[in-house]
Structure 1
Amino acid sequence: MTKIITFITLLLVSTLWSQTNYEKEMQDALTTWQDGNSNEAIAKFEKIALVEKKSVLPSYYVSLINTTLAFKTKDFKEMNLFIQKAQKAQDEVNKFLPDDPEVLVLQAMIHTASIVYDPLANGRQLSAVVLNIYKMAEGIAPNNPRVVLSKAEFEIGMAEYFGQDTKPMCEQIAKSIELFANFKPESKFHPTWGIDKATKAIQNCK
């Protein structure tokens, strides 16, 4: 009996330590990213992902950061590399949460980066795919601010390309800002990004 109690106690302590260590490393990686050290943050998230097989959040952030870097770089070879790295991490997330709205948004963003990288080769095919993904995400979580914002931003890009009115999309961006104010993430490590993008986008609308 004593051995059983000791075993259970050790198991609980080990589990608690593991959870605490995971939280500490996740917070450290997020802080590193927020401080502007993207490559270092990616390395930290990749390390966590290797250990924490039950959580897709580390891989999610690897994908998100690489996608963000893809949009920022002016080097097309580098952009393509970021897109490939983002999709590789995204594939791991898609295995477990293919219908999650946050995951759908990120997949749509990766496809959008591919369109920007090579509009002639990817524009027609992937534009329809992106719109379908956003439609799916909107059906699942119509009040998710990242769904509303990202869908509107993509539609603005298309509207500008075809010379169409962007006012309806700008109204959606304004709506996303209201949604951000009331959004509550599932945990402290779940996605909360986007308000800065929404604020910048609404300024561009004006």
Structure 2
Amino acid sequence: MKKYLLSFALVLMSLTSFAQSDYEKIMSEKIAKIETCKTAEDFQTLANDFQRIGSKESSQWLPAYYAAFSYIQKGRIMMRDGKMQDLDGVASQAEKHLAMAQNLAGADNAEIRLLKKMAYSLRMMVNPQQRYMTDGMRASEELNIAQKLDPANPRIALIKAEDIYFTPEQFGGSKTKGLEMFKEALAKFNAYKPKTTLDPNWGKGEAEYFLSLPAEPSK
């Protein structure tokens, strides 16, 4: 009887290991697509893919995280294209998946907190003057929480650099200071090691892109 129980346990362990490796394989493939997505439609397709993975792997927080990230990236492209009135819907989708991810990973997850900041920032951009004291302040709060949880996280440094770079000078922004902060972010990326191969590791290329831009002429 013990022999049969042992055999059953070994088979069960083998099936579990196979399922886990299959999950990691498909997640790795989808995460790699983040770098190749160019349009809002590309990111919508990717968000759908992560949603399907999450429906099968209901105990894993990363599929919901990446679904939210895909929606945020979709929103950032829409913002670049001037489609501001559609950002609320995209932010709502991102926030729905972030709530799922946070429920699984816990509130003390800096990566999730950073995406919550980015989702609030999307909402604020619908009408910055009216929403700065609501969505803008919520975005700042989430960024501060993320910073306290993981001060060495390069993605936090990247988003802070972006905020300074794109904020008009009359409101405290500075392209020069932003570029210095991108340098600091890149240094953090070079020293950073994700916990697993599936954990968030995006953003380094963005820091490198901004640092490759030609310097603006002095005024």
TM-score by length of 2: 0.84
* 1:27 corresponds to: 28
Q: Match for residue 94 of structure 2? A: 86
Query: Is the aligned partner of 1:50 residue 2:55?
Result: yes
Letter in 2 for 1:127: G
- Aligned counterparts of 1:126 and 1:201: Cα–Cα separation in 2: 26
The answer (yes or no) to whether the contact 1:112–1:130 under 8 Å persists in 2 is yes
Contact 1:148 1:173 in 2 (8 A): yes
Residue 130, structure 1, aligned to residue 139, structure 2: yes
1:152 counterpart (161, 167, 176): 161
- Gaps of at least 5 residues in structure 2 are none
- Native 8 Å contact 1:97 1:103 kept in 2: no
Tell me if structure 2 keeps the 8 A contact 1:145–1:183: yes
- Counterpart Cα distance in 2 of 1:164 and 1:41: 33
Of the structure 1 ranges 132-141 and 179-188, higher mean CA displacement relative to structure 2 is found in 132-141
Structure 1 residues 3 and 161, CA, compared in 2 at 3 Å: closer, same or farther? Answer: farther
Residue in structure 2 matched with residue 189 of structure 1 by the alignment: 198
Residue identity over aligned pairs, in percent, reads: 20
Q: What do you get for the CA RMSD once the two structures are aligned?
A: 2.1
Deviation of residue 158 (structure 1)?
A: 4.2
Give the direction of change, closer, same or farther, for the CA distance of 1:115–1:59 in structure 2 (3 Å limit).
same
Query: Which residue in 2 is equivalent to 1:142?
Result: 151
2:75 to 70, 74, 89: 70
1:125-146 CA distance string (max 9 Å, x none): 1222222222222222211111
Letter in 2 for 1:57: L
Amino acid across the alignment from 1:43:
N
Question: Could you give the per-residue CA deviations for residues 14-58 of structure 1, whole angstroms, max 9, x where no partner exists?
Answer: 111111110121122223333324233222211110111221101
Give 3-state SS (helix, strand or coil) of 1:142's partner: coil
Report the Cα distance in structure 1 between the residues aligned to 2:48 and 2:141, rounded to whole angstroms.
Answer: 32
Report the equivalent of 1:40. Answer: 45
Counterpart CA distance in 2 for 1:34 and 1:157 is 22
Q: How many residue pairs align between the two structures? A: 206
Residues in 2 aligned to 1:85 and 1:186: alpha-carbon distance in whole angstroms = 27
Deviation at 1:72, TM superposition (A): 0.6
Q: Write the distance in 1 (CA, Å) between the matches of 2:205 and 2:89.
A: 26
Residues 120 and 167 (structure 1), Cα distance of their counterparts in 2 relative to 1, 3 Å cut: same
User: SS of the counterpart of 1:117?
Assistant: coil
- Which string of whole-angstrom CA distances, capped at 9 and with x for unpartnered residues, describes residues 156-202 of structure 1? 44453515555444322211111111111011111111112212334
* Larger CA deviation: 164-173 vs 25-34: 164-173
